[in-house]
Chain A
Amino acid sequence: MTTSISPRTLGIDAAPSAPGPIPFSRLVRVEWAKATDTRAARWLLALVALSTAGLTLAPVLAPTSFDQTYASYLGVAAVGLVILLPVVAILMFTGEWSQRSVMTTFTQEPRRIRVLNAKLAVSMVLGGGGAVFGGVVTAAGLGLAAASGRALEADLTVGALTGYLLFVLINVLAGVALGALLQSSATAIAASFVLPAAFAVLGTASTLVSDWIDTSSAWNWVLENDWAGHVPQISFSIVFWVAVPLAAGVVRTMRRDVT
């Protein structure tokens, strides 16, 4: 049935038509604000910083257990970073489903792919920022070690730095992919810890798993800039942990009814 009646006044409809599309840069800025403006988000970022700084003290305090090289110190910082930084990325993609504020987000920008792209951009900025922070912490750790009179091997190359940055970004991307796919904070965070561990266990039984899927091998090759002979395995791991779940997550986000 249809109901119809002539308008009483036209004051509002006579107003100038709405402005153009929301610029992507604005979407990114707003997503950045949403990812960093709450108390919970700031605590989590503080924890990322703390765990990175804390872990970087390990090679300073236990010189016999760690190679006393620049690359080794940087690697430790990277491992510290990727404990919790992927969780930040996961929450960026799941938090709004849990809080149900997707209702606001996807009505303000109904082209959901643009929102996902903005979140992806923000998570890359966070990943890059985290990597820079890790570098600073590493420098501080190296400074402390040098001050204690230790001899340190300055073995950092452009390749090693690239491997370090890629390692951090890939870990963040894996978090993005899990978050986009699962759309539930608790499930995605649990999966981000359980799944790699589970495949690591399976890897002890099967070299096929350990070489191709177990992230502790593939990501470490990236971190150690050890690409020779590992490019297919690393590529497959990226497809398995990032590309496929991210693509599926995008499709699921586009199609999901917000109820």
Chain B
Amino acid sequence: MITTTALTKSYKKVPVVRDVSLRCEPGTITGFLGANGAGKSTTLKMIVGLVRPDRGTATIDGRPFVELPNPTRVVGMLLDASAMHPGRSGRATLTIAARLAGVPTRRVEHLLDLVGIADAAEKRVGTYSLGMRQRLGVAQALIGEPRALILDEPANGLDPEGIAWMRTLLRDFADRGGTVLLSSHLLHEVQATADHLVVISDGAVVAAGRLDDLLASSTILVRSPDPVALAAALQVAQIDYVAGPGDALTVDVSGGRVTTEVLAGVARDHQVLLTELRQSETDGLEQLFFSLTAAKAAPLQEAAA
């Protein structure tokens, strides 16, 4: 379990992170979505004690990170895959992490296999591609058999196959009860990986919740060959609607009172034939994201392309 309460940080009086509160439960993958520079990395670094917050607290399993006796046995992290000594081999890098964490070094071989860089284990990290460093970083994050993972832009530098591999790995980790918090500026990446979402813009959380809820359609489209009769029926039933698209009607269901079943019943009661009755097309995460972070939409579209 990872929680933060009102984390706040400014650099030279410029606010970078403002009152960010998160709660990541075991068994879930939380996507931390925001444009570059929105404050994602700073927030993650405050959680793991690398950056001191001006205000606010963060805890892992109820304790501040800096009070964990041997933190990497509780939470594994990949914050920057390029922050490794280029002169050390992949195996040596993992071995150092394993020794410090106090896990048997045979786990190093297991993880080298798991992340698929066993063949390059003896090569120096300086010769690795970004994707290989990312895989090595994942291995390092997993070295202490943690219960939680914090990953900053884990998809960076991975090819499509690598991204699919990463998704499977994280899903499996969460399904076994692990907690995952991952950041990304790529909408479709988060959409495909996370089940919870926290959207950050200009250092502040602008949306948070279950991905399904955030994406759920708030309108139902209903169509009849006789739209006038349908509209009359809805008026009698005191259901608000707007005309369109086309000759269909759109019903706002955000209040929760009206469902497709209710509408079908109204149509039956008034002997109106329905040819279409469904949730409106969801606008998708992209639309949601842009609407939530309007000011940041332009650079994001580029990044997502």
Contact = CB atoms under 8 A, between A and B. Distances in A.
B230 interface: no
Give the interface centre of B42, B73, B140 by most chain A CB atoms within 10 Å: B73
What band does the interface of chain B fall in when counting residues whose beta carbon is under 8 Å from A? Answer: 35 or more
Nearest to B99: A30
A148 interface: no
B88 interface: yes
A27 interface: yes
B51 A4 contact: no
Nearest to B49: A110
Contacts of B28: 5, 7-8
Nearest to B73: A18
Interface string B189-216: 0000000111000000101111000000
Contacts of B68: 18, 110
A14 B147 CA distance: 9
B207 to A, nearest CB: 7
Give the interface centre of A12, A39, A96, A258 by most chain B CB atoms within 10 Å: A12
Nearest to B1: A13
Contact of B79 (A19, A95, A103, A108): A103
Given A2-B23, A38-B85, A107 B178 contact: no
Interface in B12-64: 21-23, 25-28, 30, 41-42, 45, 48-52, 61
Contact of A107 (B41, B71, B84): B71
A258 B71 CA distance: 17
What band does the interface of chain A fall in when counting residues whose beta carbon is under 8 Å from B? Answer: 35 or more
A104 B70 contact: no
Given A1-B208, A111-B66, A257-B50, A37 B88 contact: yes
B284 interface: no
Contacts of B49: 106-107, 110
A100 interface: yes
Nearest to A111: B66
B48 A34 contact: no
Nearest to A41: B87
B277 interface: no
Give the interface centre of A6, A10, A20, A107 by most chain B CB atoms within 10 Å: A107
Interface of A: 1-15, 18-22, 26-27, 29-30, 33-34, 37-40, 95-96, 99-104, 106-111, 255, 257-259
B175 interface: yes
Contacts of A9: 26-27, 175-177
A107 B177 contact: no
A104 B84 CA distance: 8
A12 B61 CA distance: 12
Nearest to B30: A3
B178 to A, nearest CB: 5
Contacts of A29: 99
A25 to B, nearest CB: 11
Given A38-B85, A107-B71, 4 more contacts: A8-B26, A22-B70, A26-B100, A103-B50
Nearest to B205: A1
Contact of B26 (A2, A7, A33, A101): A7
B47 to A, nearest CB: 10
Interface in B66-117: 66, 68-74, 77, 79-80, 82-88, 92, 96-97, 99-102
B80 A103 contact: yes
B196 A22 contact: no
Contacts of B289: none
Contacts of B45: 257-259
A113 to B, nearest CB: 12
A102 to B, nearest CB: 8
A12 B83 contact: no
